[in-house]
Structure 1
Amino acid sequence: MKRIFVCLAALLVFAASAHAAGIIVPAEERYSPYTGVLPACDDPGVLSTISDRFAQKETEFWNSSIRLAGFDRVREIGYRANGVAYIPRRYCVARSVDGDGKFRPVIYNIGEDLGMIGWGYGVEWCVIGLDRNHAYEPACSVLRPFAARYLGQAALRARY
């Protein structure tokens, strides 16, 4: 009887230590699995979402007529860069041109199941220099992968 009790106690101790170690379960294996399939950075639907929402924000909140006319130099800077235990995200950067011909860097990420009421992909974006409410400060770095947040802003501005 004592052996059974000792074995059960040891089993509970080992189970508790394994739980405390924080075993990482990939997001695809959870009760609500993710597929990890996201649109590309240069997907027309993603870029039009950014343009439309930017125009709406500038008109409604800032009484401005600035519009994003197009994008170039679109590239991916990370995919699931924060780890497999988090919601799948694709991190992107592009250069936008507005109606006045000014070029501005745009940082955005595309997240799985972050659309309206958790259906479809969601896009979070920030135009450097036009984050007037400072939601993604400094210089929109909050939308970058965690490791890339501390890279020099001058290098980004020089490139885009």
Structure 2
Amino acid sequence: MRDIFSFARKTGLGATLGAAFGLLALGQAAEAANPLELNFWLSGPKYDGRLKSCEAALGSVTSQFQEKESTYWNSALTITAYGRIHEVAYRPWQSDNIPRRYCSGDVMLSDGKAHTVHYSIIEDGGFAGYDQGVEWCVTGLDRNWAYNPSCAGAKP
């Protein structure tokens, strides 16, 4: 540690850094935005709460499940059938949050086993905030533990 301070004294590094910090301290103070800057193209989110029905998102769940299984888990599993699809919650939190519709149901997979699926439809949740997005979890097949335990993170 002593070598660093002696090096700084010999080379004048300390004086240079001191002068630089001194100039920064004398700089102009930050100011608040003027009215034009404050309201220029900053309208904020306007959530309408118009979300697809639970059944309308099943195609997205099916295709995303097949893509995830084949790409990441080298599995040929696909969803072959749905049953008992129902809404669990709609906007379960205060109204200023992003609108979501939570749904659950049963799925039959190509291996002949039945599982439960939990998914949510999210307003402006698609790619780059465009269109509605769908997040889902098939109980027993959450291999990367994104919604563990037992897909509890995919429920409201």
- Structure-2-length-normalised TM-score: 0.71
What are the equivalent positions in structure 2 for 1:79-90 lying under 5 Å apart? Answer: 79-90=90-101
Distance in 2 separating the partners of 1:70 and 1:64? 18
Mapped to 2, the partners of 1:96 and 1:140 lie a distance apart of: 14
Question: RMSD value over aligned CA atoms?
Answer: 1.0
Aligned length: 114
- Unaligned regions of 5+ residues in structure 2, if any? 1-42
The match for 1:137 is 148
Gaps of 5+ in 1: 1-29, 146-160
Query: What residue is the counterpart of 2:111 in the other structure?
Result: 100
- Give the letter aligned to residue 99 of structure 2: P
| Structure 1: 4+ residue segments shifted above 4 A | none
Partner of 2:76: 65
Alignment of 1:6-155 (within 5 A): 31-43=44-56, 46-145=57-156
Higher Rg: 2
Partner of 1:20: none
Deviation at 1:42, TM superposition (A): 1.1
Task: Report the secondary structure of 2:72's partner residue.
Answer: helix
TM-score in terms of structure 1 length: 0.69
Letter in 2 for 1:41: C
Instruction: State the shift of 1:69 in Å.
Output: 0.6
Q: State the percentage of identical aligned residues.
A: 41
